Chain A
Amino acid sequence: KQEVTQIPAALSVPEGENLVLNCSFTDSAIYNLQWFRQDPGKGLTSLLLIQSSQREQTSGRLNASLDKSSGRSTLYIAASQPGDSATYLCAKVMNRDDKIIFGKGTRLHILP
């Protein structure tokens, strides 16, 4: 059974800190991996998508890496801000046209 695990489940850090969210997945077969943000009661916002042939993607203060051999991805957030508070979901697609498998998410709270 395909599984995506996210650690930690919740995280509270002071504003301005750099932080790392971790994601691990079973089965190294992967088409792409995606990080989403979800605000309470809202839908998903796609942050970064890493194709299987790529090692990382960057967007502003966000950087996501992918290590297929170890089955891990990390989301790095630089200089965190209170507006970054949300749940961050890691999701994996094993094959093209396949379903997305979501992790349970990391609830992030940035303290002002």
Chain B
Amino acid sequence: GAVVSQHPSWVICKSGTSVKIECRSLDFQATTMFWYRQFPKQSLMLMATSNEGSKATYEQGVEKDKFLINHASLTLSTLTVTSAHPEDSSFYICSASLRDGSSYEQYFGPGTRLTVT
């Protein structure tokens, strides 16, 4: 089956530093990847849609200068949280879309837990 990995699985950083999270589709090429954020006991909220080779599309209220997304290849997208603050502490999950003929499905990574101290 289609597998999506994320690295790191968890990270602790100091306020003001930047953190990069990688999302990889391991056994398929994904032209589109999505980044979500999940606060405790809440559902996933889409942050941005990332297409290979083009700029990401951010959802309303998401600061594009703070959450930098790079989708340099068909198997890798990165999310960089710049100048992180404690309120950025959250669970970040990526997904990668796979088109197979007429079907379309998103496959999710295991998530990255970010704690900003």
A and B found bound together: yes
Given A43-B111, A44-B93, A99:B43 Cβ within 8 A: no
Measured CA separation A101–B59 after assembly (Å) = 12
With contacts A42-B110, A43-B109, A44-B93 taken as known, whether A96 is within 8 angstroms of B104 at the C-beta atoms is: yes
The interface residues of chain A lying within 8 Å CB-to-CB of B110 are: 42-43
Hey, what's the 0/1 contact readout for B84-98 against A, CB within 8 Å counting as 1? 000000010101010
Cβ of B53 to closest chain A Cβ, rounded Å: 16
Interface residues on B, range: 20 to 34
**In the complex, are the beta carbons of A97 and B32 less than 8 A apart?**
yes
Chain A contact patch, size range: 20 to 34
Within 8 Å CB of B6, what residues of A? 43
Cross-interface CB contact of B95 among A42, A100, A104, cutoff 8 Å:
A100
Question: Do B34 and A99 have beta carbons less than 8 Å apart?
Answer: yes
Q: Would A89 and B111 count as touching, CB distance under 8 A?
A: no
A43 touches which of B43, B103, B108 (Cβ 8 Å): B108
Interface of B with A (CB < 8 Å)? 6, 32, 34, 42-46, 49, 91, 93, 95, 97, 99, 103-111, 113
